[in-house]
């Protein structure tokens, strides 16, 4: 079986004779344990995050071409064979134990956030580091070399979702990443014709992380029709990646009620003004969880100003009523 994209799962168990290959750019995220009891699991320029890792005899795990197997919370137990080839890394936040039948081969890096206990065979060419004790290792501890290899593992900004939805009072733009490496920030742009683009907002990135990160912003410009959005990601060194644009159609913002988002909790004064500045609606409402529902009276189609006043702060939003 070949895995080439982004996969999440609770638990992973690999049985007799199975062959699983994670091809270039593949990311597999598991919240609990990984067990390779038999067969072969190969990573080729790929990433696995797991809660724990156990490799039993005769199971084999091989990391090639700057791959990384990161055990986030649990321990790593190797009784089978672990191949960590050039520029690849196996890193465990917990203890790392190599049993009497276990072997670790290659020229990559082995890191442990706890103790590293070797009762089997570890090739002297493995670069290793342990925050606790390192027992039975055949070569001197080299944390600078081990951390250098692990930190150099390629973890691109892996975009797994990018959406825009009409939420009543605004367009909500959301996106999510599976991993990020050296991510400085994102730029969201909008266009009404998919040709001329305007900056909407800059959002700071997560830097480098192997955890899923979710982002969202609101577009309070209430033009009607089709609006396009695109996402641009910037590395710390200034390099950028532009993703394909998405679109959302807006037919009406006034359907008897509006949902107001990102407000302060507590009392809020809402006023709806016509183009002459006359208030046609004035209501005091309570905001809970940052949201407020506002009932809208029947009005003549046209442009209106919705004012939200909270603790002396005024927010004005131009909206348009259609038939």
Share of the chain above pLDDT 90, in %: 38
pLDDT digits (tens, 9 = 90+) for 120-167: 999 999 999 999 889 999 999 999 988 888 877 655 687 888 999 887
Which of 96 and 295 is assigned the larger pLDDT? 96
Residue 288 is predicted with a pLDDT of 75
Residue 296 tokens read as: 């809208």
281, 288, 216: which is closest to 259 by C-alpha? Answer: 288
Q: Which domains does the chain have, with CATH numbers?
A: 2-151 (no CATH), 159-250 (2.60.40.10), 257-321 (2.60.40.3080)
CB of 170 within 8 A of CB of 195?
no
Q: Name every residue whose Cβ is closer than 8 Å to that of residue 276 and which is 6 or more positions away in sequence.
A: none
Distance CA 91, CA 82 (A): 12
Cβ atoms of residues 111 and 131 within 8 Å = no
pLDDT at 219: 87
Residue 158 token pair: 């892996």
Q: Nearest Cα to 310, choosing from 273, 262, 270, 257?
A: 270
Contact 149, 125 (CB under 8 A): no
pLDDT value of residue 154 = 57
For the stretch 223-258, what's the b/e string if a residue is b when 16 or more beta carbons lie within 10 angstroms of its beta carbon?
eeeebbbbbbbbbeeeeeeeeebeebebeebbeeeb
CA distances 255 to 168, 282, 296, Å, are 9, 18, 8
Pairing of strands 6-9, 27-30: parallel
**Distance between CA 279 and CA 276 in Å, rounded?**
9
> Where does the pLDDT of residue 287 fall: very low under 50, low under 70, confident under 90, or very high at 90 and above?
confident
Range 108-116, long-range pairs (CB < 8 A, 24+ positions): 108/63, 108/84, 108/149, 109/84, 109/145, 109/146, 109/147, 109/149, 109/150, 110/84, 110/146, 111/146, 111/147, 111/150, 112/76, 114/75
pLDDT in tens, 134-145: 999 999 999 998
């Amino acid at each position: 079986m070949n895995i080439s994209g982004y996969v999440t799962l609770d638990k992973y168990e690999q049985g007799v004779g199975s062959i699983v290959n994670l091809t270039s750019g593949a990311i597999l995220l598991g919240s609990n344990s990984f067990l390779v009891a038999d067969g072969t699991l190969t990573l080729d320029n790929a990433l696995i995050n797991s809660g724990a890792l156990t490799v039993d005899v005769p199971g084999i795990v091989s990391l090639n071409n700057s791959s990384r197997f990161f055990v986030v919370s649990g321990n790593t137990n190797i009784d089978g064979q672990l191949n960590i080839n050039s520029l690849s890394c196996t890193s465990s936040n917990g203890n790392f134990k190599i049993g009497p039948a276990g072997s670790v081969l290659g020229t990559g890096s082995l890191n442990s956030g706890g103790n590293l206990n070797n009762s089997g065979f570890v090739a002297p060419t493995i670069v290793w580091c342990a925050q606790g004790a390192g027992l039975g290792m055949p070569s001197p501890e080299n944390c600078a070399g081990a951390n250098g290899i692990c930190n150099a593992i390629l973890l691109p900004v892996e975009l797994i979702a990018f959406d825009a939805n009409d939420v009543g009072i605004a367009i909500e733009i959301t996106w999510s990443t599976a991993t990020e490496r050296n991510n400085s920030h994102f730029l969201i742009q909008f266009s009404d014709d998919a040709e001329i683009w305007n900056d909407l907002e800059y959002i700071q990135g997560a830097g480098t992380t192997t955890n899923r990160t979710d982002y969202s912003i609101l577009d309070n410009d209430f033009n009607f029709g089709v609006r396009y959005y695109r996402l641009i990601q910037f590395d710390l060194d200034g390099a950028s990646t532009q993703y394909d644009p998405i679109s959302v159609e807006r037919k009406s913002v006034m359907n008897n009620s509006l949902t107001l988002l990102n407000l302060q909790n507590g009392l809020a004064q809402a006023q709806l003004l016509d183009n002459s500045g006359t208030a046609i609606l004035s209501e005091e409402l309570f905001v809970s969880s940052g949201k407020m529902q506002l009932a809208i009276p029947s009005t003549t189609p046209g442009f209106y100003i919705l004012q939200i006043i909270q603790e002396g702060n005024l927010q004005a939003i131009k909206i348009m009523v259609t038939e």
